Amino acid sequence: MRSSRFLALVLAMSFVPALFSQGAPPSPAEAEKWMAATEADLLTAANEAQRAAWVQETFINDDTEAIAAKANERFAARANRAVIEARRFDGLKGLSTDMQRKFMLLKLNGSPTDEKLLAELTQVSASLDGMYGKGKYCVGGDKTKCLGIDQIDVVMAKSHDAKELEDLWVGWHKVSVPMRPKYERLVELSNQGAKEFGFKDTGDLWRAGYDMKPEEFSAELDRVWGQLQPFYQELHAYVRAGLIKKYGAAAERKDGMIPAHLLGNMWAQEWGNVYDLVAPADAVKTYDLEAALKTRIGNVPPLEAGKQMAKFGEGFFHSLGFAELPDTFWQRSQFTRPADRDVVCHASAWDLDNDLDLRLKMCIHVDDVDFVTVHHELGHNMYQRAYRKQPFLFRNGANDGFHEAIGDAVALSITPEYLKTLKLIETVPPPEADIPLQLRTALDKIAFLPFGLLMDKWRWQVFSGETKPGDYNKAWWELREKYQGVAPPIARTEADFDPGAKYHIPGNVPYARYFLARIYQFQFYKAMCEASGYKGPLNRCSFYGSKAAGDRLNAMLEKGQSQPWQKTLKEMTGSDHLDAGPMLEYFAPLTKWLKEQNAKNGTKVGWTVEK
């Protein structure tokens, strides 16, 4: 999602002319006047830069990269002066709660104050983003068979040829090698800016944005991971056994880890694509959503197919009482990969004017994965529209994890009953299908958790200096082995830069939000199920068509970032903290089943990491 990342950037990039006389003691009224002008300036700055960023990601070339970099450079220079000006109000008594919060949010930023270093930082950032977007792997060295990551994803999702999967994995990971020196410089420059504005490093700055101390935030993530790790380990053991049965020696390792290329995804972050290899032998037949989608819209032109996929997501929110998306959404979004230029295909939702110019940027494929993804991305757009009447500094999610969780909470309602309502399937599978359906869901939701955690753990170590540039790849794989229990298909060295093969590293997008979202979405989902009046096993709930659930959701979305996320969460769910309980409740039948299967088959749970 673009807007959360971009808003954090813009908040560090504003300048407002001084509206007070230097040296005079400030007053609360003066602070309010200054803040009002600041927010007006930020709104204008955000809109201008969002448009430059949109063009840069949907029409990648040297010129658009330069335009985006220069725009960000101007904003950052202004911001540094604005944040410094705001210090004049430090300790000022009599400020309203809203005003205190605005000053706090404004100061959660930092970039180099030296003009040359600032220009270099914005150029390096734009260049890394462009390098990823332009990245391609030419299969077998054939220049007529060059694939972007979205195209590679489709092949890896379908292929069960271990050699082909290894070739694609190794080929794509070569794309990131040239990024390494630029990334090292990005770390140096961003750290300098963070330190100039009172933070230990960039990781400390990122963690400070959660209405708690940075060290408390880190501890909170570790606490919740401790709740979920046993479930992940059972799933890992079960999947490993299924892959060994399919691939033999190519999947079997003495240390019990799973080769990363065999999990149906370039980064082994979600494993749903290997479901057919690990499905229960006696599984009740469920449904083939991809086949149903292809039957419905697979024969229409790609652009129209992409729009029809997005229409499914819009329809769900409309059923909850949300207004339809504006016409400009359908006119201006990127729904498919253009044939005439490079673009960033990584799915994201945009709000270009902080009002109603909402857009989706995605290279949509007619399959079950992108069916879920469009629901996810439109959740961002609904959130953006809901808080658009807040003051500018509050036009964001309660925290960035909230923003990522909205669409995913809705996607949990993609139950057989919902699909039958859409006439994508004819019959609802019987209760015996619950385990296969839960397994398919867990292969994405649960398998993702350690990856969602380690991405920023790696960066926090890099930003703090605990991990030196000469150990980037070593530290990356140490974390992946420790948390995920996955290993690279071939030996890796410091000549590689494997973190850069994942968009969010060169894109410099914080990633803890996605771990948080995996937990929050079940909290939100349970709350909306309760609001809808649903009674029954949580995993079978769909609140499609429930205006009461929609009202509960919209009340939360409209708050934006106007209050601490803990308060917003409690108003939505009754709990004021990150809680894995609803997720564990949802998957309780599967957890029991996995333990039984692993015990029955004598499958060892866990893996060994060499020290």
Which pLDDT tens digit goes with each residue over 132-153? 989 999 998 998 999 999 899 9
Give the span between the Cα atoms of 437 and 284, in whole angstroms. Answer: 10
Whether the pLDDT of residue 493 is over 60: the answer is: yes
For residue 229 the two structure tokens come to 């790790």
pLDDT at 113: 83
Number of helices (H), then strands (E), belonging to the chain: the values are 24, 6
Q: Which of 13-17, 28-32, 171-175, 402-406 has the lowest mean pLDDT?
A: 13-17
- 26-49 burial, b at 16+ Cβ within 10 Å, e below that, comes to eeeebbeebbeebbebbbebbbeb
Cβ proximity of 310 and 445 under 8 Å: no
Q: What percent of the chain has pLDDT over 90?
A: 80
The reply to whether the predicted model has a pTM over 0.75 is yes
- Checking if the pLDDT of 585 tops 80, the result is yes
Q: What is the DSSP string of 79-114?
A: HHHHHHHHGGGTT-TT--HHHHHHHHHHTS----SS
Supply the pLDDT for residue 208.
93
Q: Are strands 146-147 and 137-138 parallel, antiparallel or unpaired?
A: antiparallel
pLDDT tops 50 at residue 17: no
Closest Cα partner for 396 from 380, 416, 414?
380
Give the C-alpha separation, 339 to 342, whole Å.
8
Catalytic residue ranges: 377, 504
Burial of 543 (0-12, 13-18, 19+ CB in 10 A): buried
Q: CB-based contacts of 481: which residues, under 8 Å, 6+ apart?
A: 257, 487, 607, 609
Tokens of 402: 């909230």
pLDDT at 185 exceeding the cut of 60: yes
Give the pLDDT score at 477.
Answer: 98
Q: What is the pLDDT of residue 19?
A: 40
Give the ranges where 279-399 is alpha helix by DSSP (H).
Answer: 289-297, 302-319, 327-332, 368-386
Measure the CA–CA gap between 339 and 241, rounded to whole angstroms. Answer: 41
The whole-angstrom separation of Cα 183 and Cα 124 is 8
Q: Which tokens go with 500?
A: 């850069």
Q: pLDDT class for 7, splitting at 50, 70, 90?
A: very low
Report the candidate in 159, 421, 419 with the shortest Cα–Cα distance to residue 291. 419
Strand 358-361 and strand 258-259: the pairing is unpaired
**Residue 258 to residue 53: CA distance in whole angstroms:** 38
pLDDT in tens, 71-94: 877 777 777 777 888 989 999 999
Q: Binning pLDDT at 50, 70 and 90, where does residue 278 land?
A: very high
Amino acid at 330: W
Mean pLDDT of the chain: 92
Q: Is the pLDDT of residue 12 over 90?
A: no
Partners of residue 358 on adjacent β-strands = 351
Average pLDDT over residues 58-69: 90
Of these ranges, 2-6, 112-116, 281-285, 579-583, the one predicted with the greatest mean pLDDT is 579-583
Give 13's pLDDT tier (boundaries 50, 70, 90): very low
Mean pLDDT of 95-120: 90
User: How do strand 258-259 and strand 348-351 relate by DSSP bridges?
Assistant: unpaired
